[in-house]
Structure 1
Amino acid sequence: MPDYDADRFTAIYDGCRQRVWAYVVSRAGRQVADEVVSETFTVAWRKLDEVPEPPLPWLLGVARNILRDNIRAEARRTSFVAELRSWTEPAEADIAEEISERSALLKALASLPEDDRELLILSGWQGLTPAQAARVVGCSPITLRVRLHRARKRLTEAASAYPLIRDAAVEQGMSPQVRIATGKEA
């Protein structure tokens, strides 16, 4: 059986490699073609029993999925690099002040109960809607909104202990609720 598998794979590779490579080049250029073709045939080898006859459409579908995954990964890397760059390149404020504010806010967040932190991270950092976050934590969207409101209030209270955050909130024109919670009414 292994000889048959090796012969079948060799026949598929010899018969389809050029067309798969041409397809990938037409979609993504020569720089990535060799890598994507290699990955495509690695998948074909691992799933040789699933490769239908004729194999070309299946192989092109695999190559398409690999390209799509590569594009997503590149978008994530680009986004991550941009985020890191935003942390290291000051816009208008002093970098030391921004780092101190961020550090103080993270300390305030860390002082909250785990459930509050989870809600704040799901909504603020992960960008989930209340309905999506409710599914994650296993409650109704209305219940989540109430819990999130309370968690935000507790974060505001915890952050008021840090003068850098309190002063930054006032300077940035934060809501009256934040100003009152931080002891700085407008």
Structure 2
Amino acid sequence: MAEAERFTALYREHSARVYAYAVSRGGRGLAEEVVAETFLVAWRRLDVVPAAGPGPGPGPVPWLLATARNVLRERFRDEVRQRSVAEELRAWVTGSAEDEVAERAGLLAALAALSEDDRELLTLVAWHGLSAADAARVVGCSTSTFFVRLHRARRRLEQAVRQADEPPAAPRSSLTEPPRAGLPPAEPSPVGSSPTGRSRTGPAAAGPSPSRPSPSRPSPAEPPSRPSTPSRTETRS
């Protein structure tokens, strides 16, 4: 039987049972999403899903319900899952931040900066807890190829974390800024002068200062004129 036909038969025969299990655990609003994710995992890992046979074997139902249980656990424990992801990723990077919240945010931001393929490789192992062989089946490659790709993804994650931890470059001071092209460098101001052109001891030298009218001094009183003496000719006459 081809894979597509086997998967169609698997869904037709057992989706109702998975749906009933999801309703009993998470309600009707979440059941359809749980069924969809469960059979998505079943499609990706169809080679490990037990086939239904005439013998007394367990068949695919226990495997499907266990997968649905894991999906529900991830839905209900989102915060715990994020913490476990941060702890798993911390084992791959060097150093640790003093603030746990900032560290977790930095790790998740670094993970978000990676490509979609790198994120899938890392989360299949750290998030979903798959072995390298099972994760290789999910992405469709050999186990050795998966190890190589996972190693490269971890190195890129470490580089992204280091870049996120680097402090921002300090702005250049205007005192050390080189002169702009086409403009001569500013000449130093003479000693004793302020940038506004005024000396520290007097008003600005540029332009004549308005003259103040000097207070008029009272002119000294003129001495009284001496009385004229009669001439000798007048006395004789």
Q: TM-score, normalised by structure 1?
A: 0.41
Q: As a proportion of its length, which structure holds more helix?
A: 1
Instruction: Please identify the structure whose Cα radius of gyration is greater.
Output: 2
